[in-house]
Amino acid sequence: MIGGDNLELSFKDLSLDAGTVGEDSSKILKWNLPLKELYKLACSFYKEKSGKAIHLSYEDNLKLVAFTQQAAHGPLDLSKAPPLGMFDVIGKDRRIAWQQLGTITKLQAMEGFIDLLDRLCPLFKPYVEAIKKDREEKARRAEQEEIQRTEALAAERERQEELARLESEKNREELHRRQLQDALNQQTYHQFKEYAEIQFPGNPEQQAVLIRQLQNEHYHQYMQQLQAQVATNLARLKSLSDGEEDDTPTAVVCENGAAGAIEPAAANEFANANNAKENSQFEFKEQCDSDNDSGDYAVISPANMWTKPDIKLFKQEVMAGKGDGVIRVNHGDTVTVKVPTHEGGSCLFWEFATDSYDIGFGVYFEWGKPPTTEVSVHISESDEDDDTIEEDDEVICAEDLECGQVQSSQMSSAGSALGSRNPISIIIPIYRRECHQEVYAGSHTYPGEGTYLLKFDNSYSLWRPKTLYYKVFYTR
């Protein structure tokens, strides 16, 4: 039997008084845990460990059971309690212990159970602390995972935005490229169509394929020339901005477009994508204006060049007499094919190939009325030939990496020596071409009246002669 003194001692340690009745148990904390949650942990610990890790006396077990009954059902009401058997001693002891708890609230009964279990079993509090730490660790991990998930979502969103921006920029650049290419194609279509009709008479499909190939080659060459112009003029602007003085006069080829004159709208559309290009084009325009005041041959458009794979067929046609001819260019020699402009033509076309080895090739234009309308071939054995471009005092040199910059003293001496020689402009600088692997072809719109100088340079070769196959013709 449980004495009343023992029960009274168990209630003196209760920290909750009657004033807590009616309060929300979720707001009542004990050991930094809600009271009801802590009570559930205590009941679970008592059921699992009783008789195993903990061994309590009969009276202590009665007290703990009484607290659980009070917490579950409130104060004992004997009128509602079921009758006990005559020999149910344990039931009577439990009912007496429950009855002696009096009118304490359910929350007080929960706290009484927790305090009593804590005093009777030292392992209970470490058990609760371990559960708390485990929950805190889980909460910390969950928070960290949430932060990582949020950061990953933000990074993915930024990546998608960047991809969308790049895609939009790519589409905009592609639109500008197509507009520019369409403008170029409209200007060169008739010239390329005439050339394709000559190459594949009566075959519209082959003509269309060749026209597309020529237009693509023309576009890429135009872009390369434009980029080279931009780089040259940026370097010049930089030197001027750094305060460098340039007393050496430099003649400039002013280009209004590719294969004739590109529409200003298309050129401006492309120039909007590159501020540096705008500056360079503005500078070119000023130079063109100043050159136009001094003569009629200052402005010249760039040439078009492309390649064809059918080199064997081309050589067979030339050898069969369907072309202009075959020339042997000895080592150290330079062959110049002079082609006068024709009054019935507007554009010159050329094609050439070699056997086994490459050869240097360039195109110049000699201004003035041609003395003859016949195509002629001249062979020079040195770079000091009278027809070479380096000795001409009126040469207009644009982006020629081989001829270099003409000094003032050289120009004055050459001018006094040559006097009335016709001026010569560089259309294509001489560079070595891999024409033993592919047929090299090109075209240029007449800049005016004069003579084209197609130069095939083998001066760099010390012992190898080259066999040259070439064709030249004009279109209206």
Whether 398 has a pLDDT exceeding 90, the answer reads no
Residues with Cβ within 8 Å of residue 160, at least 6 apart in sequence: none
Asked if 145 and 202 sit in the same domain, the reply is yes
DSSP for residue 122:
T
Residue among 284, 281, 219, 225 at smallest CA distance from 254? 284
Q: Does 279 reside within a domain?
A: no
Asked if 445 and 374 sit in the same domain, the reply is yes
pLDDT of 322 reads 62
Whether 34 has a pLDDT exceeding 80, the answer reads yes
Distance between CA 153 and CA 148 in Å, rounded?
8
Decide if 383 contacts 390 (C-beta within 8 A). yes
Q: Does 4 reside within a domain?
A: no
Sheet containing strand 439-445, strands side by side: 304-308, 439-445, 347-354, 466-475, 325-329
Mean pLDDT to the nearest integer, 387-412? 42
87: CATH: 1.20.80.10
Whether 413 has a pLDDT exceeding 60, the answer reads no
Whether 44 has a pLDDT exceeding 80, the answer reads yes
For residue 287 the two structure tokens come to 């130079």
Of the candidates 234, 257, 289, which is a domain's last residue? 234
Distance between CA 454 and CA 364 in Å, rounded?
7
Asked if 90 and 166 sit in the same domain, the reply is no
Q: Is the dihedral of CA 33, 37, 41, 43 positive or negative?
A: positive
Name residue 471's beta-bridge partners.
Answer: 351
Distance between CA 422 and CA 395 in Å, rounded?
9
459: CATH: 2.60.120.680
Mean pLDDT to the nearest integer, 444-466? 92
Of the candidates 234, 261, 278, which is a domain's last residue? 234
Decide if 309 contacts 440 (C-beta within 8 A). no
Q: Does 182 reside within a domain?
A: yes
Asked if 321 and 461 sit in the same domain, the reply is yes
Domain count, the chain: 3
Q: Does 291 reside within a domain?
A: no
Domain containing 356 equals: 304-383+422-475
Q: Does 27 reside within a domain?
A: no
Asked if 470 and 329 sit in the same domain, the reply is yes
Of the candidates 234, 256, 275, which is a domain's last residue? 234
- Compute and round to an integer the Cα radius of gyration of the chain: 50
Q: Residue 247, exposed/middle/buried by CB under 10 A (0-12, 13-18, 19+)?
A: exposed
Asked if 97 and 67 sit in the same domain, the reply is yes
Residue among 246, 361, 261, 344 at smallest CA distance from 301? 261
Asked if 176 and 321 sit in the same domain, the reply is no
What is the H or E stretch that residue 378 is in?
Answer: strand 376-380
Mean pLDDT for all residues in the chain: 77
Asked if 432 and 353 sit in the same domain, the reply is yes
pLDDT, one tens digit per residue, over 202-259 is 999 988 999 989 988 888 888 888 888 888 888 888 888 776 544 444 333 333 333 3
Asked if 99 and 150 sit in the same domain, the reply is no
pLDDT, one tens digit per residue, over 376-397 is 999 887 544 444 444 444 344 4
Q: Kindly give the pairing relationship between strand 325-329 and strand 439-445.
A: unpaired
DSSP for residue 296:
S
- C-alpha pair distances (Å), 111 with each of 118, 132, 244, 431, 437: 10, 18, 93, 100, 98
* pTM beyond cutoff 0.75: no
Which pLDDT band holds residue 427 (cuts at 50, 70, 90)? very high
Asked if 309 and 449 sit in the same domain, the reply is yes
Mean pLDDT to the nearest integer, 41-50? 88
Which pLDDT band holds residue 409 (cuts at 50, 70, 90)? very low
Q: Which residue has the higher pLDDT, 55 or 21?
A: 55
pLDDT, one tens digit per residue, over 290-347 is 444 444 555 688 999 999 988 999 998 898 886 678 999 998 999 999 999 988 889 9
Distance between CA 104 and CA 73 in Å, rounded?
11
Mean pLDDT to the nearest integer, 156-180? 93
Q: Does 196 reside within a domain?
A: yes
Question: What proportion of the chain, given as a percentage, has pLDDT over 70?
Answer: 74
Asked if 48 and 113 sit in the same domain, the reply is yes
Asked if 92 and 157 sit in the same domain, the reply is no
Which pLDDT band holds residue 399 (cuts at 50, 70, 90)? very low
Q: Which residue has the higher pLDDT, 122 or 4?
A: 122
Length of the chain: 476
Q: Does 292 reside within a domain?
A: no
pLDDT of 251 reads 37
Report the 10 Å Cβ neighbour count for 24: 10
Q: Does 19 reside within a domain?
A: no
Whether 5 has a pLDDT exceeding 50, the answer reads no
Distance between CA 408 and CA 416 in Å, rounded?
12
